[in-house]
Structure 1
Amino acid sequence: MFAPALQGHRPIRERLLARLQAGRIRGSLLFAGPEGIGKRRVALELAQREICFRRTACGACEGCRLFEGDDLPYELPNLLRITPEGKAGVIRIDQIREGLDSANQPRFSRGVIEWASLAPPPNCHRWILVEEAHRLNESSANILLKTLEEPPQDTHFILVTHRPEAVLQTIRSRCERIPFAPLAGPEAWEVALRHGWTDTDRARWSALGEGSLRFLEEDVFRRAEAQVEAWLALLGGAAFSEAAGPLLPEKDGGVAQGEQLRQPLELLLRLLADLARIRAGAPPALAPWGERLAALAAGPLDPRPGQEAALEALRHLPRNLSPEPLLREVALALRTA
């Protein structure tokens, strides 16, 4: 009764299935947990099981093939997906009200509100999946709120996010929160093996991923790896102009430059937390870099100014500040510490 290729979260999936079969599943759910651990895929499994010819999400029938691949359609017979758009990565009001894409062309024939009110296909529910729900802007969130309060019969909203605190409180209060934990290490690595990874990179890949699948694409992983190396160099006293290259956002990237800074800042916080762990006699979470971290921990470096600067920078990211001055300020705090 479960998608064979989907790893982890079995207790949650079993509870959701049992409640669905008993008619006790809420109209609005909030799937919350770390980024890249499979929350979205669990949501898709609920819809896939209903379209599956065997009603099991078998992954082999024509119904299941509709759910295959990374380029999943925005509308399927019983599923509507709402995703962030554009460099700013926000979910706009017209996606909720009118169902138009960034080029102002119909991506699906109706907006969310009308789509939700239609009768579902036979023996199915209507599922509306809001991916990265923290990307709802205020206007789109308020429009969605009206439908979330009383979803039409047999219609279910699933909001997926790794930043539930950034979701409008009135929306959170109308959803049942389903908490997700990271995948177990072997579960995440089994998925990595299916994507061509080898044991050569297992230690670093697993340490950086922390039970997530964020780094399945090699270029994404290599960039994170380079960012760790850059911070270690800066912590060791290297000049910003010499070491900071991997930390700077890609100007031609598909994501806003401010948002690209989130990953390197979060990696810095993890490195600084590991310094504190080592000084307390505990092993570092980023164990593949343990020797270099231990050398830094043996010195007089105080991680607190760097932590405060990184957290302050993360708070400012939505303001689209200039990336390089922001990173220089954080690096200066490391040097001062």
Structure 2
Amino acid sequence: MFSPDIAGHQAIRERLLARLQEGRIRGSLLFTGPEGIGKRRVALEMAQREICLRRSACGQCEGCRMFSGEDLPFELPNLLRVTPEGKAGVIRIDQIREGLDSNNQARFSRGVIEWAALAPALGCHRWILVEEAHRLNESSGNILLKTLEEPPPDTHFILVTHRPEALLQTIRSRCERIPFAPLAPKEAWAVAQRNGWQDGDHDRWSALGEGSLRFLDEAAFRRAEAQVDAWIALIGGRAFADEAGPLLPEKDSTLAQGEQLRQPLELLLRLLADLARIRAGETPALAPWREDLTPLATSERDLKTPQEAALQALRHLPRNLSPEPLLREVALSLGA
């Protein structure tokens, strides 16, 4: 009854299936947990199981093939996907109220509210999956509120996010929260191996991923590695101009600059936490970098000032500040 392609979260999946079969599942669910641990895939499984000819999300039948591949359609017989749009990476009000251009086959033609009111396919529920739900802006979130509070019969919303604190409180209050934990290290690495990763990368890949699959793509992993090395160099006193390259946003990325800056700032916070762990005689979470971090974990080094600077920078990201001055200011705090 479960997709063989999903790693982990078995207890949650069994509970959701049982509640669905018993008619006890809420109309609006909020899937939360760290980025890249499979929350979205579990949400898709609920819709896929109903279309599957074996009712098991087998991944082999004609029904399941509609859900296969990276380029998943935005609209399927019983599923509507809502994702951030454009360079700014937000879910806009017109996606909720009016839908998007039907001439573009990658997009859906009806707004969420209209789609939710349609009769479901025979033997199915209607599922509306809001991916990266923290990217709902205030206007689109407010338009969605009433439908979230009272979805039409047999229609279910699943909002997926790793940043629930960024959602409107009124949205959070209308959804049942389903928290997901990180994958066990063995579960995550098994997926990595199926995607071609070799044992030589195990320690760094596992440490950076923290039980997630965020770095299955090698380019993303190598960039995170480079960002860790850049911060270590800056903590050690190297010049910002010489080391900041990996920390700055990539100009050709589809992500907004603010979203690109989030990862290096969060990595800095992890490194500062590891310096405190080493100082206390504990094992750092980023253990593969321990040799580089240990000489930097001196008792006279101020860890609180750069931590506050990084947290402040993260709070300011939605304001679309210039990335280089923001990172330079954080880097200066490392010498405080």
Using structure 2 for the length normalisation, give the TM-score. Answer: 0.98
Give SS of 2:241's match: helix
Match of 2:15 in 1: 15
Match of 2:99 in 1: 99
| Letter paired with 1:223 | R
| Letter paired with 2:324 | E
Q: Distance in 1 between matches of 2:135 and 2:266?
A: 19
Match of 2:6 in 1: 6
Contact 1:99 1:106 in 2 (8 A): no
Q: Distance in 1 between matches of 2:333 and 2:236?
A: 13
Match of 2:138 in 1: 138
Match of 1:195 in 2: 195
Q: Distance in 1 between matches of 2:228 and 2:118?
A: 49
Q: Distance in 2 between matches of 1:15 and 1:241?
A: 52
Instruction: Give 5+ residue unaligned stretches, structure 1.
Output: none
Counterparts in 2 of 1:105 and 1:76: CA distance versus 1, 3 Å:
closer
Q: Distance in 2 between matches of 1:224 and 1:81?
A: 29
Give SS of 1:335's match: coil
Deviation at 1:103, TM superposition (A): 9.6
Q: Distance in 2 between matches of 1:274 and 1:156?
A: 41
Match of 2:111 in 1: 111
Match of 1:176 in 2: 176
Deviation at 1:254, TM superposition (A): 1.1
Counterparts in 2 of 1:53 and 1:105: CA distance versus 1, 3 Å:
closer
| Letter paired with 2:64 | C
Q: Distance in 1 between matches of 2:312 and 2:107?
A: 38
Deviation at 1:300, TM superposition (A): 2.5
Match of 2:150 in 1: 150
Q: CA RMSD of the aligned region, Å?
A: 1.4
Match of 1:302 in 2: 302
| Letter paired with 1:218 | E
Match of 1:281 in 2: 281
| Letter paired with 1:202 | H
Counterparts in 2 of 1:220 and 1:161: CA distance versus 1, 3 Å:
same
| Letter paired with 1:5 | D
| Letter paired with 2:129 | L
Using structure 1 for the length normalisation, give the TM-score. Answer: 0.97
Contact 1:37 1:183 in 2 (8 A): yes
- Within 5 Å, which residues of 2 pair with 1:251-262? 251-262=251-262
Contact 2:101 2:109 in 1 (8 A): no
Q: Distance in 1 between matches of 2:204 and 2:176?
A: 35
Deviation at 1:195, TM superposition (A): 1.0
Contact 2:102 2:108 in 1 (8 A): no
Q: Distance in 2 between matches of 1:229 and 1:112?
A: 44
Match of 1:125 in 2: 125
Contact 2:74 2:106 in 1 (8 A): no
Q: Distance in 2 between matches of 1:199 and 1:335?
A: 37
Give SS of 1:173's match: helix
| Letter paired with 2:279 | R
Mean Cα displacement is larger for which, 155-164 or 186-195? 186-195
Deviation at 1:335, TM superposition (A): 1.2
| Letter paired with 2:235 | L
1:232 aligns with 2:223: no
Match of 2:48 in 1: 48
| Letter paired with 2:99 | G
Counterparts in 2 of 1:102 and 1:317: CA distance versus 1, 3 Å:
farther
Contact 1:310 1:330 in 2 (8 A): yes
Counterparts in 2 of 1:103 and 1:297: CA distance versus 1, 3 Å:
farther
| Letter paired with 1:300 | E
Match of 1:270 in 2: 270
Deviation at 1:105, TM superposition (A): 8.7
1:82 aligns with 2:118: no
Number of equivalenced pairs: 336
Deviation at 1:228, TM superposition (A): 0.2
Q: Distance in 2 between matches of 1:53 and 1:3?
A: 13
Cα deviation, 1:117-141, whole Å, max 9, x if unaligned, reads 1111111100000000010011110
1:205 aligns with 2:205: yes
